[in-house]
Structure 1
Amino acid sequence: MKLPLQALDPDLFARAQALLDDEWLAHDADLAPVLPTVLARGVGQDWHKAGTFRHHLIGVARSLALWQQPRAVRLLGLLHSVYGNAFVDLVKFDMATERGRLQALVGQGEEELVYLFCTASRREFTQKVLAGQIEPDGSLPLHTNQGEPITLAPDVVAAFLVVSMADTIEQWFSWQDDIYSRFPDTDTSRQQKVHWMASLWPGPMRPSGRMLHQINRLGLALQHPKLKGRLPMPPVFEACTAPFSASDDAAAASLYWSVIQQDQPLADLDVATGVLEQAVRLNPWVGEPQMVLAQLYLSAGRREDAARAAESALQAFCSWGNAWDKRVQWDAWIAWTRILLQGATTDGPGAWPERLDKLNNVALRAGA
């Protein structure tokens, strides 16, 4: 059965390449003026899920930049939790005394969007979106974290959806699958002492077996007639039009992880290759399974197949701006995928090595 591999979009790749530079934020005319104020609040020292709060804020902003979101939405990504929220106790700006300062820095409308994102019940927001309860006019009634009724306007609903997609893909991995199991309908009665194994951070760092499906549902909500066209559509799930089932999400993650954990026969490549091919059929939307498959193809001498899988993996990585498998960062996944693509398409210098120890020497050639 043919694999659902994608061709690499040169424009998308060029946008992603620009974000591989550690200094990309400093060159962003909209975000750079805000960055020193954010960094001065110690965000690089705060723990946050798979990294630090700095990593998280910048990672969310990176996806939004890659998705070509407008200034207000990208600022929301960079600042989305600075007042704290129901999911995190970090407070970097005191909403009782510092709203004016943030308004002066980013603009009143932009700050109000950040304030609303921090104070609205995002659990209820997610529940209602997943239940298909966005109003016919695109608005969404819900409550604040303090229980006060509010109604989000359609442009705010669209912004919250896009930022929630970026927020989730940046941070979620297996540790949260356990401690926040079945979010947004998490069982809050579970005790940490009883579930101590689930509590051990960071755990095995498996990719989430649930949340890509939920991100897909948030993206599909952007197709609402009164929301569609309000913001650039994220370039994932065929521009947020293709459904992705919960069962496919779970099965693909499990198949992928079985290869990573070497739970397949090790003497020959055939079983691991078949398992990864099935993972890609079930979940063609993330790059990591395709990237590992490309390396298996290279090891088997299947260079054309390896090139197609590596190119498709690169397309997926460039579509998200963050890694699905959090064991290494997004830029490292892209770097190794480019090595694989080079190895599959190059003879002589840069070709894929036959000796195991020579993998330590591989390097990206100019123009690759």
Structure 2
Amino acid sequence: MPYSTCKPQHDDHLHLQSLLQSARPFLRGQLENIDNKLPSLISVLKSVGAGECWHKHGTFLDHLIDIYRILKLWRSPDPVCLTGLFHSAYSNSYVNLAIFDPSTGRDVVRNHVGEEAERLIHLFCVVNRQKLIHDDLLFRYEDESELVRHVNESENSLIKARNSVFEDEEEEWRKKIQSVLPAEGIVMKHIKTGEDVHLSRRVVALFLLMTIADFSDQLFSFQDVLFDNADGTLKFSGNDWANALWPGDGKPGLWMNSLSRMGAIYTLIVREEELYLLKQSQQEQQKQELVNHSNRDEDIELVIPPIFENCTKILSAKDQIEARDLYWEGVCEVSKRGLDKCAELLNRSVVKNPFVGEPHVVLSQVYLSQGRFDEAEKEGEEGLRLLLEWGSPWDKRMSWEGWIAWCRVLIMKAKERSWPETSWGILNLGLVR
């Protein structure tokens, strides 16, 4: 079905409450309410030292739990979420984090997460993900206008196919995605042994989805300095290792253009998969024969994350940079510029990048300070929605849980139509109802 961004206000409220209800076990630390095995699985990760390993924005343990949370909030199936929880446990092409030895530990991991999840974890760790995600997928779609056009065309094709009207398979978008990822999948080399490793198209899509979650959780301005990502395209081509002093200035990173393009490619894969199955089903009914799809992993469910308007929009590198800089100027220069100028900067930031929550959250506080309660409530709820949909923060100076807690305070005070006018009054805030 086509996605719609025009929803009645009542539906918006119900959607926000649904998102909050899904996130509440994570916010309250009630992990057993998510999966009764989850606390014991996290204890396993702790016992092998995941909490002692440095990882980009904190510890490896924190990162693993965060990826599980993101995938769960995106409504991924349990084996996929468990793959996220253990996703680099054998080490991989990006990082040296082998907390389980793949030569002796696969049975151990399999006993914890099950056969399906362990197979995905192992595949994730033995293929060259940089080559797969960037060289073989992302850089094959460097023309953003082409990618936008293909996403639009694919939606129209899918609508027709669901009504048993199949377009010519020579459609431009289908020919390209099939050339990048054939229906039978691809073969890559094992990063250590050099052996052939078959990846079905659905497994490739899953690894793309996990990379989106992975990058959203860990990237901030430190990596921009490290790889000289001044243009915001995140090609990992620079090498400024000497000047990248961790954690740096804490700015939001320039990773959203890259992830929005990944999301659009993911959508193309998902739509091509559905078209393929619809066509196969039609042919099987006509011929009354069954086709063996055993090597295509058709039992893996591919979900569409809610980010970037259900992975249908691309944020340009230019808009990403301008939005980030407007936000940073607004939050860092408010004492010099004043609240009106801060609000102007934040509103301009939101126009440039409408896909992140933090500018809305800060804008909500500005409006509360100005007594503009209706506007504060609107911005607070939009910020909360986006934060809950991402499952991770864009501005990583504070945790995802911290941003949500603060945002909910702002919304509560906006509804009460009150805001403290003393410093102690601000410090006394905290209770969320």
TM-score by length of 1: 0.89
In structure 2, give the amino acid aligned to 1:291.
V
Shift in Å, 1:125: 1.5
Quick one: distance in 2 between partners of 1:31 and 1:155? 25
Equivalent residues, number: 353
Q: Where does residue 274 of structure 1 map in the other structure?
A: 344
- Deviation string 1:76-127 (CA, Å, 9 cap, x unpaired) is 1000111111221121000111112212222223211101101111101121
Distance change in 2, residues 1:75/1:253 (3 Å): same
TM-score by length of 2: 0.76
Deviates more, 1:121-130 or 1:57-66: 121-130
Is there any run of 5+ residues in structure 1 with no aligned partner, and where? none
Q: Is the 8 A contact 2:110 2:118 kept in 1?
A: yes
Distance change in 2, residues 1:94/1:251 (3 Å): same
- Deviation string 1:174-197 (CA, Å, 9 cap, x unpaired) is 001121345864236x363xxx33
Percent sequence identity over aligned pairs:
35
In structure 1, give the amino acid aligned to 2:89.
V
Q: Where does residue 320 of structure 2 map in the other structure?
A: 249
Which of 286, 289, 299 does residue 356 from structure 2 map onto?
286
Shift in Å, 1:140: 4.2
Deviates more, 1:236-245 or 1:222-231: 222-231
Shift in Å, 1:143: 3.6
Shift in Å, 1:360: 0.7
Q: Does 1:129 align with 2:137?
A: yes
Distance change in 2, residues 1:332/1:119 (3 Å): same
Shift in Å, 1:18: 2.3
Distance change in 2, residues 1:30/1:71 (3 Å): farther
Shift in Å, 1:259: 1.8
**Which fold has the larger relative contact order, with Cα–Cα distance below 8 Å and residues 6 or more apart in sequence?**
1
Q: Is the 8 A contact 2:90 2:122 kept in 1?
A: yes
Q: Is the 8 A contact 1:79 1:114 kept in 2?
A: yes
Shift in Å, 1:365: 4.5
Aligned CA RMSD, in angstroms, stands at 2.4
Is there any run of 5+ residues in structure 2 with no aligned partner, and where? 1-5, 142-176, 275-299
Q: Where does residue 206 of structure 1 map in the other structure?
A: 251
Q: Does 1:144 align with 2:151?
A: no
Distance change in 2, residues 1:138/1:269 (3 Å): farther
Shift in Å, 1:204: 0.6
Which of 91, 104, 117 does residue 110 from structure 1 map onto?
117
Quick one: distance in 2 between partners of 1:144 and 1:260? 46
Quick one: distance in 1 between partners of 2:364 and 2:184? 42
Q: Which has the larger radius of gyration?
A: 2
Quick one: distance in 2 between partners of 1:178 and 1:86? 21
Q: Where does residue 243 of structure 2 map in the other structure?
A: 197
Q: Where does residue 386 of structure 2 map in the other structure?
A: 316
Q: Is the 8 A contact 1:68 1:232 kept in 2?
A: yes
- Deviation string 1:18-67 (CA, Å, 9 cap, x unpaired) is 22122426751354442222121111121111111111000010101111
In structure 2, give the amino acid aligned to 1:303.
F
SS in 1 for 2:267: coil
- Structure with the larger helix share: 2
SS in 1 for 2:89: coil
Shift in Å, 1:260: 2.3
Quick one: distance in 2 between partners of 1:126 and 1:137? 17
Q: Is the 8 A contact 1:251 1:279 kept in 2?
A: yes
Deviates more, 1:286-295 or 1:125-134: 125-134
